[in-house]
């Protein structure tokens, strides 16, 4: 393909391929350099092509959240983690129907999740690795005590073809800026050390200790005992990640290309990317800061939105946009912008080099 960005209809997702490759290389080098297994979460890109790029750079496997993601990613890699409790007959059926070469691991936090999974695995004669999910402070999923983790690990051990494969956690609550992050990472490390010591004492030393979000991934080497990280956002990054200082602004690889469709109301311009393209995702900790920022004009944010309208606040800029003019918006939360799109366009400068579908976005 040799199309130009100017020929694309808007809204459209653009990925700067140079930035993407730099992001992929950097995380691969970081994890390799620290002897950490990288199992990137595909929820961010939902693309088997991009998963292939991660695996070619040394990723040990892939992380998925839904059966659909696992099905689509089985074309890219055969070591898949479902980092989500596999609850419900249909979901178990789909997991068991994954191609035979797939080595499947799931993360769970209840006996109620273990029993049907064990039955399904036995019925299909399929070994399934199990991570015990532990809550390290986000209070979303995960057992809240070492005793519960031990009980669950023992239950899994008693239910072949399930295999106790390790523990998993998601430190999504650690979103501090810069130096404020250090004590939180230290606290996480201390809690983890205590858990690991007790597991060790009970003969349940986990083969894998799996953690990590994009903001904490770069601190993974500071956490003793961690063996695997599962960042997703790092491939593209986004405004929230840059605002946190977990990437530089010019590491933001994905933008939403949009067209100014109205300047009728003074003090603002309306673009054709609203909640149905960007998602209504506030900046964590800064809900009044809008829903995205212009790549080339950081003084302009998407201040309000309707479903198909993004309203650019022009009060802080000398720029006078005209109807038909195009802008590139760095979304607050890139995983949602991708989930809302059919396809992503890979660009270098103004050339559209490639396009890939967001293949795993359905159910």
Which residues would be at the binding site for a copy of itself (CB under 8 A)?
A: 7-12, 43, 65-67, 84-85, 87-88, 90-91, 94, 109-110, 112-113, 116, 133, 135, 139-144, 148, 172, 259-266, 268, 270, 272, 275-276, 279-282, 287, 304, 306-309, 311, 322-324, 335-336, 339-342, 362-363
Closer of 52 and 282 to a copy of itself (Cβ): 282
In whole angstroms, give the CA distance from residue 289 to residue 243: 11
Nearer to a copy of itself, 315 or 363 (CB): 363
Considering the complex, state which of residue 316 and residue 323 has its C-beta at the smaller distance from a copy of itself: 323
Q: Which two tokens stand for residue 174?
A: 């650690």
Q: Whole-number minimum distance, CB 264 to a copy of itself, in Å?
A: 4
Pick between residue 64 and residue 247 the one whose CB is nearest to a copy of itself: 64
| Least separation in angstroms between CB 287 and a copy of itself | 8
Contact by Cβ (8 Å): 106, 82 = yes
For residue 285, the minimal CB distance to a copy of itself (Å) is: 14
Closer by beta carbon to a copy of itself, 96 or else 221: 96
Q: How far is the CB of 335 from a copy of itself (least distance, A)?
A: 6
* Nearer of residues 13 and 50 to a copy of itself, judged by Cβ: 13
| Smallest distance, a copy of itself to C-beta of residue 199, A | 17
Q: What is the closest distance, in whole angstroms, from the C-beta atom of residue 65 to a copy of itself in the complex?
A: 5
């Amino acid at each position: 393909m040799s199309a130009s960005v100017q020929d694309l209809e808007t809204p459209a997702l653009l990925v700067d391929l140079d930035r993407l490759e730099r992001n992929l290389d950097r995380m691969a080098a970081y994890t390799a350099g620290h002897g950490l297994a990288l199992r990137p979460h595909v929820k961010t890109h939902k693309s088997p092509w991009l998963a292939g790029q991660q695996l070619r750079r040394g990723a040990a496997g892939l992380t998925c959240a839904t059966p659909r993601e696992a099905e689509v990613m089985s074309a890219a890699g055969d070591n898949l983690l479902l980092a989500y409790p596999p609850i419900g007959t249909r979901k178990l059926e789909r997991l068991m129907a994954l191609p035979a070469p797939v080595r499947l691991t799931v993360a769970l936090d209840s006996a109620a999740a273990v029993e049907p999974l064990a039955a399904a695995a036995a019925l299909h004669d399929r070994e399934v690795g199990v991570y015990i999910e532990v809550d390290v402070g986000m209070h979303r999923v995960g057992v809240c005590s070492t005793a519960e983790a031990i009980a669950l690990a023992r239950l899994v051990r008693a239910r072949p073809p399930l295999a106790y494969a390790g523990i998993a956690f998601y430190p999504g609550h650690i979103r501090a800026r810069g130096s404020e992050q250090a004590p939180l990472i230290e606290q996480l490390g201390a809690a983890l050390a205590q858990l690991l010591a007790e597991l060790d004492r009970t003969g349940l030393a986990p083969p894998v200790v799996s953690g990590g979000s994009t903001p904490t991934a770069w601190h993974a080497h500071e956490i003793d005992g961690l063996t695997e990280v599962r960042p997703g956002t790092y491939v593209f990054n986004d405004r929230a990640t840059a605002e946190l200082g977990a990437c530089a602004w010019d590491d933001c690889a994905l933008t939403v290309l949009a067209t100014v469709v109205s300047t009728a109301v003074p003090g603002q311009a309306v673009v054709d990317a609203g909640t149905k393209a960007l998602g209504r995702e506030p900046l964590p900790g800064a809900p009044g800061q809008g829903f995205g920022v212009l790549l080339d004009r950081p003084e302009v944010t998407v201040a309000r939105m309707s479903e198909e309208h993004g309203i650019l606040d022009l009060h802080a800029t000398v720029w006078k946009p005209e109807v038909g003019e195009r802008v590139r918006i760095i979304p607050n939360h890139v995983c949602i912008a991708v989930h809302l799109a059919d396809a992503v366009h890979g660009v270098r400068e103004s050339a559209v080099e490639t396009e890939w579908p967001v293949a795993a976005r359905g159910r």
